Amino acid sequence: MTAVAAARGRNTHSGPGPVLARALEILGAFTAQHPVMTLSEVSRQSGLPLSTVHRLIGELVAWGAIERGDDGRYRVGLRLWEVGSLAPRGLGLRERALPFLEDLSQITRENVQLAVREGTEVVYVERIAGTRAVPVLTRVGGRFALTATGVGLVLLAHASPEVQDEVLAGPIERFTERTVTDPRQLRRMLADVRTNGFSISDRQVTMDAVSVGAPIYDSRGQVIAAVSLVVHHGTASPHALAPLVRTSARSISRAVSGPA
C-alpha cells in the first residue's frame, strides 16, 4: 500500500472535504518514480477506485493541474507548476539567489544547490550543474534526507531542538559506507556546523562526491535556506571551498533581507 493510500485510513475530520481530499490524493500519486501514468496506474498509486479517478481526473485536466498526453497517459500539468511557483520560499528565494548561484557555478564549474527545510526533509529549490560536475541524486523540487547532504546538515543544525530530536530518533538512511547514521556523531557534526558556519558532507550520498554547505539568513537572523557546492571527491579541499560557499551564502542573505 502506498503512503497516500495508507493516509486514507486515518481520521480526516479536520482535513479537506472528501472530493478535495481525493483530488489531492490523485495529485500526490505523481512522484519522481511515477511522473507519467495511465488511468489504472493512477488508481493503483493513489489507492482510489478507478471510477473515482476517472471522474476526478477529468476535472483536474480541465483546470490544468494534470495533462493528458497523445499517448493517453497523464502527467502533472503546467497550471499546477504556475501556482506552485508562487510559493515565497521557492520563487522569491530562487530569484534573489540565482545571480549568486550562477557566479559560484561559473567560478567553480561545479554543482551549486539551493535548498530549504520542509518538516524533516530537504526540498531543493534550485540546482545549477557545472560542465564537468559530478553526477548528483538531487533535482529541483525533489526531497532528500537532512542528515546526509551539505545543505541538509546546515538546515538541521539550525532547526529547532524538537526537529533535531525527531530526525535523529527516527531511522537514518544509509546511502554509502561513509554515511553517518550514529545520532551522537551527527549531533557533534551539527554542533561543528553551528560553530564553523559551514558543513561538509564527505561521500555520504555517493562515493565520488563531497558537498560543502552554508546557511542563508533572513532579516531577523533566522536560517531560512542553505546553499552548497558539490564537487568530485579528491579534486579540492572542502575547507578551501568553504569561504567561497560562505561568501555566496552571505550575498544571498543580504539579497533576501533587502527590500522586495
Q: What is the pLDDT of residues 80-94, one digit of tens each?
A: 876 766 665 555 788
Could you tell me how far CA 13 lies from the centroid of its own chain? Answer: 29
**Tell me: domain 3-84, CATH 3.20.20.70, correct?**
no
- Between CA 143 and CA 160 the distance in angstroms is 19
- Between CA 75 and CA 34 the distance in angstroms is 9
Share of the chain above pLDDT 90, in %: 52
- β-pair partners for 212: 200, 229
- Between CA 231 and CA 9 the distance in angstroms is 44
Amino acid 217: pLDDT? 94
User: Which residues of the chain form CATH 3.30.450.40?
Assistant: 88-257
Q: Which superfamily does CATH assign the domain made up of 88-257 to?
A: GAF domain (3.30.450.40)
Most confident of 2-16, 113-127, 246-260: 113-127
User: Which residues of the chain form CATH 1.10.10.10?
Assistant: 3-84
Evaluate if residue 181 carries a pLDDT over 90. yes
Evaluate if residue 245 carries a pLDDT over 80. yes
- Between CA 186 and CA 180 the distance in angstroms is 7
Give 28's pLDDT tier (boundaries 50, 70, 90): confident
- β-pair partners for 121: 118, 145
Maximum C-alpha span of the chain: 59
- β-pair partners for 200: 212
Mean pLDDT across the stretch 144-148?
Answer: 92
Give 135's pLDDT tier (boundaries 50, 70, 90): low
Q: Which helix (H) or strand (E) holds 140?
A: none
Cell of 190: 551539527
Evaluate if residue 11 carries a pLDDT over 60. no
Share of the chain above pLDDT 70, in %: 86
Phi, psi (deg, nearest 5) at residue 210 = -125, 135
Range from 11-25, 58-72, 164-178 carrying the lowest mean pLDDT: 11-25
Q: Beta-carbon neighbour count of residue 128 at 10 Å?
A: 17
Amino acid 42: pLDDT? 93
Q: Where is pLDDT greater, at 94 or 245?
A: 245
Q: What is the DSSP string of 22-87?
A: HHHHHHHT--SS-SEE-HHHHHHHHT--HHHHHHHHHHHHHHTSEEE-TTS-EEE-HHHHHHHTT-
Q: Where is pLDDT greater, at 99 or 79?
A: 99
Most confident of 105-114, 126-135, 195-204: 195-204
Judge whether 179 and 148 are in contact, CB under 8 Å. yes
Cell of 11: 481520521
- Helix/strand/coil for 150: helix
- Between CA 201 and CA 203 the distance in angstroms is 6
Tell me the angle at which helices 150-157 and 183-196 cross, rounded to the nearest 10 degrees.
Answer: 80
